[in-house]
Amino acid sequence: EPEVTQTPSHQVTQMGQEVILRCVPISNHLYFYWYRQILGQKVEFLVSFYNNEISEKSEIFDDQFSVERPDGSNFTLKIRSTKLEDSAMYFCASRRGAYNSPLHFGNGTRLTVT
Amino acid sequence: AQTVTQSQPEMSVQEAETVTLSCTYDTSESDYYLFWYKQPPSRQMILVIRQEAYKQQNATENRFSVNFQKAAKSFSLKISDSQLGDAAMYFCALTSYSGAGSYQLTFGKGTKLSVIP
């Protein structure tokens, strides 16, 4: 069964550094998402992407965050200048169609900011 | 705005017994979908079961079933014949058309399920 794949599985970075988290959604999916889960807390929506543009973003997704789908397969989340509070598990997800199709999650990237 | 509430931070069940995890939600939309996701210690998010709001029949997937009470906005998960591998964090989630076309999921805070051998 096709999977959403995320790399790296664990990223350690120093405060103030830029990080790029990478995702390869399932190939025939059209909607792409990033979610965040701070340790011990609930999964929070960051941003959704459809038709090569952001369709919705949360309050968390400020100017330090950006997303790209540079080559039709990869879907990246960039954090320009990381803060300690950005430490979390970041999940990429994709779905084939509208909201009646299930959301498929990747295994996540654990980001640790020191 | 839509909200999902899971009032049980932790639950435990004896192996082979049945356990029910509670979830309530709120949305102004009439058409929406509800989900239960399982997150084992590996932290992968695994879809357990989903329910379409327009369907009265409760969804069932093997040992997992839901009790969907639309009027009460309640969506509980029942796990029958609990197994050690069921131990995980369980998240209830809701999606509806947000108007922005993103169909994003809103999650509850989760219920940590322990299975006692």
Check B35 against A55: CB less than 8 A apart: no
Mean pLDDT of B64-85: 96
State the residue for tokens 């995890």. B21
Mean pLDDT of B49-74: 94
CB atoms within 10 A of CB B56: 8
pLDDT the model gives residue B39: 92
Does position B68 have pLDDT exceeding 70, yes or no? yes
State the residue for tokens 């999902």. B4
Residues of A within 8 A of B45 (CB-CB) are: 43, 91, 93, 105, 108
Mean pLDDT of B41-53: 89
pLDDT the model gives residue B30: 82
- The strand ranges marked E within chain B are 3-5, 10-14, 19-21, 24-26, 32-39, 46-52, 60-61, 64-69, 74-79, 88-96, 105-107, 111-116
d(CA A91, CA A107): 7
The closest of B2, B68, B14, B13 to B36, measured between CA atoms, is: B68
Q: Chain A: nearest CA to B21, how far in angstroms? A: 16
Mean pLDDT of B101-115: 88
pLDDT the model gives residue B96: 79
Of A41, A45, A100, the CB nearest to B105: A45
Nearest chain B alpha carbon to A34: B104
Check B43 against A44: CB less than 8 A apart: no
Nearest chain B alpha carbon to A110: B43
Low-confidence ranges of chain A (pLDDT < 70): 98-100
Q: Chain A: nearest CA to B100, how far in angstroms? A: 6
Check B102 against A48: CB less than 8 A apart: yes
pLDDT the model gives residue B91: 96
**How many CB pairs below 8 A link A and B?**
69
d(CA B38, CA A34): 18
pLDDT the model gives residue B38: 95
pLDDT the model gives residue A9: 94
If pLDDT is split at 50, 70 and 90, which confidence band does B2 have? Answer: confident
Q: Are B37 and B91 in contact (CB under 8 A)?
A: yes
Q: Provide the Cα torsion A84, A89, A95, A98; round to 10°.
A: -60
Check B44 against A56: CB less than 8 A apart: no
Backbone angles phi, psi at B27, to 5 degrees: -155, 150
Q: Chain A: nearest CA to B80, how far in angstroms? A: 23
d(CA B56, CA B73): 13
Of A56, A103, A108, the CB nearest to B98: A56
pLDDT the model gives residue B100: 59
pLDDT the model gives residue B98: 62
pLDDT the model gives residue B43: 82
Mean pLDDT of B55-79: 95
For the stretch B81-85, contacts whose Cβ atoms lie closer than 8 Å and that sit 24 or more positions apart, written own/partner, are B81/B16, B81/B17, B81/B18, B82/B13, B82/B14, B82/B15, B82/B16, B82/B17, B82/B18, B82/B19, B82/B115, B83/B15, B83/B115, B84/B15, B84/B115, B84/B117, B85/B40
If pLDDT is split at 50, 70 and 90, which confidence band does B88 have? Answer: very high
Does position B99 have pLDDT exceeding 70, yes or no? no
